[in-house]
């Protein structure tokens, strides 16, 4: 059995204790990994703080080359990363390979960015230049649904900008982050990258730590609020990429089979465990029955199973806590709607929920109002488009959304009325590290990805110079 280690101050070390890692397709442990204590967390932060002066002073081109080397190293061990990811997260192996390669690609995208000084004013009296300086120690806290690529969204810009890092993965998916730590131990100067694992007991210590300059967090809105409260005492910089309850709004001119397939894919990819997965769909009366029937057919035909099986399309729910929550939501769906496919956990080991379609459900039912984070899709009918848009927007969340229609100009006009950080038209899950990704309302604060995402890891400094002879 492979021995996993923490990375602290350039050394791969054991944890203060160990913890089991559960394979969600089996519901039992398949590996152990280190578990840090508070003393080790403090050592990691101290190491990152000590490494910051030299790393931030290093030319950006050298930092860029090391990021590219990390991307190459991940790609060279892509099979190991993907197999580990499938075992700890549950997703089909092909999707795990896609995430692994996407992680390397994301690092390369950030390595290709720059932080050149920008002249913001140049007139007869003054010249003003904006410089971008690193912040210091960045704490990156990542979730269990995409533990690799969501780490890259933080690791890439933070390191390129000259920050040092402490990485803390979710307790149920720690292994791939620890593998990244192994590569960083070989490539980066001691202390630049550190890895810490816990059982959700060190997050508050890390986010409140006085030597942490920024917290980059991806996870639930409820936990994001705790993070925001924790950083308030030191006014740390913070990026929060939080939950969503993304709606698909179907217009009355669509090809039902074509769009139903795309919406089904957008709702069930990664077993629906995506912050921007389609979590509710609004369909006009005229095509409602046909649309529901097509979604139900797709759900019944989908192959659910272990991610290691090449035929599997949909894997398990990642952890027991989420599995139990989804079972509660299914009970609500039975009471407040009509389940036309799925609806019951599979009778087998592991945390398997088959794709479930719920029709004739109201907006105030839990299965609609809450973020399911599962392959469960409620389908709501509408007769008036303005009313449907209002219902789509009547949510505490505003992360993503989609509009579907053959008349693209009409669909675009509708998309402009959806209150979400990203709205796709006639496609979904088109994530690109070159594009800024942000949430509105309670779906987040700040930006990930794109040039704006890079700037989140910097402090803007204006140098305002008087020109010779200016009055």
Q: Which tens digits make up the pLDDT trace of 294-328? A: 999 999 999 999 999 999 999 999 999 999 999 99
**In the structure encoding, which two tokens stand for residue 126, read together?**
């003054």
Domains and CATH numbers, the chain: 6-242+443-463 (3.40.605.10), 247-425 (3.40.309.10)
| Percent of the chain at pLDDT exceeding 70 | 100
Residues in the chain: 471
pLDDT for residue 469: 81
The DSSP string of 153-178 is HHHHHHHHHT-EEEEE--TTS-HHHH
The packing angle between helices 175-187 and 78-89, to 10°, is 150
Mean pLDDT along residues 102-114: 98
3-class DSSP assignment, residue 458: strand
* Residue 326 · residue 293 · CB < 8 Å: no
φ, ψ (nearest 5 deg) of residue 469 = 85, -5
pLDDT at 470 over 80: no
**pLDDT at residue 322, rounded to an integer:** 98
Contacts of 237 (CB under 8 A, 6+ apart): 135, 213, 214, 215, 456
User: Cα–Cα distance between 448 and 399 in angstroms, integer?
Assistant: 12
Inform me whether the pLDDT recorded for 471 exceeds 80: no
Q: In what order do the strands lie in the sheet with 422-425?
A: 338-341, 356-359, 376-382, 280-284, 247-250, 400-404, 422-425
Catalytic pick among 275, 292, 306, 456: 275
Q: Please name the helix (run of DSSP H) or strand (run of DSSP E) that holds residue 62, with its range, or none.
A: helix 60-76
Q: Are 179 and 104 in contact (CB under 8 A)?
A: no
CA-wise closest residue to 265 among 423, 147, 427, 380: 427
Residue-wise pLDDT for 85-95, tens only, equals 999 999 999 99
What's the pLDDT band for 1 if we cut at 50, 70, 90? confident
What is the rounded average pLDDT for all residues in the chain? Answer: 97
Q: Which helix (H) or strand (E) holds 48?
A: helix 38-57
**Pairing of the two strands 397-398 and 440-441:** antiparallel
What are the tens digits of pLDDT across the range 195-233? 999 999 999 999 999 999 999 999 999 999 999 999 999
> Angle at CA 240, nearest 5°, toward 328 and 198?
70
Residue 354 is encoded by which pair of tokens? 């088959």
| Active-site annotation holds for 275 | yes
- Distance (Å, whole) CA 269 – CA 273: 7
Structure confidence by residue, pLDDT tens digits, 57-99: 999 999 999 999 999 999 999 999 999 999 999 999 999 999 9
The catalytic residue among 43, 88, 99, 241 is: 241
Residues in contact with 417: Cβ distance below 8 Å, sequence separation at least 6, in sequence order = 389, 393
The residues, any chain, with a CB within 8 Å of residue 194's CB and separated by 6 or more, are 6, 7, 8, 9, 44, 45, 47, 48, 164, 165, 166, 167, 181
Please name the residue that has the structure tokens 């007991």.
Answer: 201
pLDDT in tens, 249-273: 999 999 999 999 999 999 999 999 9
Q: Let me know if 43 is a catalytic residue.
A: no
pLDDT at 133 over 90: yes
Is the full-model pTM beyond 0.85? yes
Q: Are 449 and 432 in contact (CB under 8 A)?
A: yes
d(CA 217, CA 204) in angstroms, rounded, equals: 12
- Per DSSP, 304 falls in state B
How far are the Cα atoms of 70, 83, 104 from residue 76, in angstroms, in the given order?
A: 10, 14, 10
3-state secondary structure 218-238: ECCHHHHHHHHHHHHHHCCEE
Residue with tokens 């040039």: 451
C-alpha distance across the termini of the chain, in Å: 74
């Amino acid at each position: 059995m492979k021995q996993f280690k923490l990375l602290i101050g350039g050394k791969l070390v054991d944890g203060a204790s160990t913890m089991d890692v559960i394979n969600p397709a089996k519901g039992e442990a398949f590996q152990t990994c280190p578990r840090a204590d508070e003393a080790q967390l403090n050592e990691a932060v101290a190491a990152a703080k000590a490494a910051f002066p030299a790393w931030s002073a290093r030319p950006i081109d050298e930092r860029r080359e090391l990021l590219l080397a990390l991307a190459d190293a991940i790609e060279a061990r892509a099979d190991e990363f993907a197999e580990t990811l499938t075992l700890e997260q549950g997703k089909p192996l092909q999707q795990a390979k896609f995430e692994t390669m996407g992680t390397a690609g994301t690092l390369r995208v950030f390595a290709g960015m720059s932080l050149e000084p920008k002249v913001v004013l140049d007139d007869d009296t003054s010249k003003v230049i904006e410089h971008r300086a690193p912040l210091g120690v960045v704490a990156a806290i990542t979730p269990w649904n995409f533990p690799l690529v969501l780490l890259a969204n933080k690791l890439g810009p933070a390191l390129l900008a000259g920050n040092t890092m402490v990485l803390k993965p979710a307790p149920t998916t720690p292994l791939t982050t620890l593998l990244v730590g192994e590569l960083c131990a070989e490539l980066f100067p001691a202390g630049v990258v550190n890895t810490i694992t816990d059982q959700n007991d060190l997050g508050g210590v890390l986010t409140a730590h006085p030597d942490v300059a920024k917290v980059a967090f991806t996870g639930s809105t409820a936990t994001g609020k705790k993070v925001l409260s924790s950083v308030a005492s030191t006014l740390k910089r913070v990026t929060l990429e939080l939950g969503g309850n993304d709606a698909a709004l179907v217009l009355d001119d669509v090809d039902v089979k074509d769009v139903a397939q795309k919406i089904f894919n957008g709702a069930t990819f990664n077993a629906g465990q995506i912050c921007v997965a389609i979590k509710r769909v609004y369909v006009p009366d005229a095509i409602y029955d046909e649309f529901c029937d097509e979604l139900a057919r797709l759900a019944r035909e989908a192959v659910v199973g272990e991610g290691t099986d090449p035929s599997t399309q949909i894997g398990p729910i990642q952890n027991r806590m989420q599995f139990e929550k989804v079972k509660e939501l299914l009970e609500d769906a039975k009471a407040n709607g009509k389940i036309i496919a799925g609806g019951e956990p599979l009778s087998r080991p592991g945390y398997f929920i088959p794709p479930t379609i719920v029709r004739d459900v109201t907006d105030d039912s839990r299965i609609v109002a809450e973020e399911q984070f599962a392959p469960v899709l409620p389908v709501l009918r509408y007769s008036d488009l303005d009313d449907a848009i209002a219902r789509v927007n009547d949510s505490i969340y505003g992360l993503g959304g989609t509009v579907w229609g053959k008349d693209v100009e009409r669909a675009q006009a509708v998309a402009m009325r959806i209150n979400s950080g990203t709205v796709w038209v006639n496609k979904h899950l088109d994530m690109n590290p070159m594009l800024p990704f942000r949430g509105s309302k309670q779906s987040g604060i700040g930006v990930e990805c794109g040039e704006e995402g890079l700037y989140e890891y910097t402090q803007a400094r204006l140098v305002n110079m008087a020109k010779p002879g200016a009055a």
